[in-house]
Amino acid sequence: MSTREIITCRRTGDTCVYVKHKSGLDILIREMPGFSSVYALFGTKYGSINTTFKLAADKEYTEVPNGIAHFLEHKLFENEDCGVFELFARTGAQCNAYTSFDKTCYLFSCTKNYTENLRILLDFVQKPYFTKENVDKEQGIIGQEIRMTNDNPEWRVLFNMLRCMYHNHPVQIDIAGTEESIAQIDADLLYKCYDTFYNLNNMTLSIAGNISAEEVLAICDEMLRPCADKGLETVFPDEPADIVQAEIHEKQPVGASIFQMGYKCAPCKENFFKKEMTATLAMSYISDASSDMYLRLLSEGIINNTFGGEIFAGDGFFSAIFSGESESPEKVRDAVAAEVRRILAEGIDERVFSRIKKALYGSYVRQLNNVTAFASIMINAHMAGCKPFDPVDIVSELTSADALEFIRNELTEDKIVLSVIEKM
């Protein structure tokens, strides 16, 4: 039997519906009457980092080539009859998919025919069709994609940094893999990964907009094929706390030199959203456009308005990254490190912290009334072991002491990596 729970935001009173479907699928639904659009994501907790795994019945772990999750995502858009894009085009919907480091999601957005589009989405993701011919063809297509991303400066500066941060964790490897790794992929491997990770007990449906929860659940009852939980377990190699190297430079034909400087932080094992929100506040306090450090670097021409900070985190990895354009990235790194030392010595200005916290809180509240944003929040939260409204509730309760503790424990100078793509 399916079970249902109403999840309520303590601060705003907004609600969504969580259903543990009898098929094994987790379903999150946000009815938003009066809105014109619908956005749905059907995702599996399976990304590029999940290359070593086993089921409860397996004696040994299986290790598969890098890039196979992304490869599988591409192939699911083909079936025996016609392409999936053609099916959605007939209904007037837009469809897409993405593979990240720790998840793969298939999605559509529409303003009409959402029930028909939901049937298409649930149907094609449950119908893999892999042959030697279509796998061989895809290897050439994805090989070209890999070559294109290798020429992308933004992509290169990120992965250069990750390779300097992580010794063993697969987050350092391109999501699409390498031309050598995808050459090892065949139809049998794709079916093995599909059967392992596309089990409904490892998947989530998130849908928001002008919808009826009862209609959504009726379609799920009709379309979903129940499957037993096979006891999936994924593992990662041991990862030392220290970095590999502190700095890396590469020359590319770019108009302006770009950089990413990141702090390698301890991975989050519990309360993921609390650590992510705390880190976001701490990063904002350091790099906010009204901060003394930002304004000084801007006035000296060391940075421009591309400078900012973000949190990059997932299963087994967590880092705080500052990035932007600069012809003097070492000065940016040194200024950030000096600002961290100043904050630890002088403490956090409560007035400034309060303003930054209110801005972050307001950004999350606004997303509650955005169909696309909230559908994404629901699936991301659920796959992180959290609830959709946790960001609003958590941010409202965080203090400057929480942010200061994160800065003290995580933003240490021995964990800084600087990656630069310089003009040729």
Task: Please identify every residue annotated as catalytic.
Answer: 73
Q: Is residue 376 within 8 Å of residue 206, measured between CB atoms?
A: yes
Encoded tokens for 374? 């909230």
Three-state SS across the chain? CCEEEEEECCCCCCEEEEEECCCCCEEEEEECCCCCCEEEEEEECCCCCCCEEECCCCCCCEECCCCHHHHHHHHCCECCCCEHHHHHHHHCCEEEEEECCCCEEEEEEECCCHHHHHHHHHHHHCCCCCCHHHHHHHHHHHHHHHHHHHCCHHHHHHHHHHHHHCCCCHHHCCCCCCHHHHCCCCHHHHHHHHHHHCCHHHEEEEEEECCCHHHHHHHHHHHCCCCCCCCCEECCCCCCCCCCCCEEEEEECCCCCEEEEEEECCCCCCCHHHHHHHHHHHHHHHHCCCCHHHHHHHHCCCCCCCCEEEEEEECCEEEEEEEEECCCHHHHHHHHHHHHHHHHHHCCCHHHHHHHHHHHHHHHHHHCCCHHHHHHHHHHHHHCCCCCCHHHHHHHHCCHHHHHHHHHHHCCHHHEEEEEEEEC
Nearest Cα neighbor of 311 from 360, 367, 346, 374 is 360
Q: Which residues lie closer than 8 Å to 123 by C-beta, 6 or more apart?
A: 223
- Pairwise CA distance, residues 116 & 127, whole Å: 17
Nearest Cα neighbor of 14 from 390, 394, 396 is 390
Q: Is residue 197 within 8 Å of residue 44, measured between CB atoms?
A: yes
CB-count exposure of residue 203 (10 Å: 0-12, 13-18, 19+): buried
Nearest Cα neighbor of 88 from 80, 98, 97 is 97
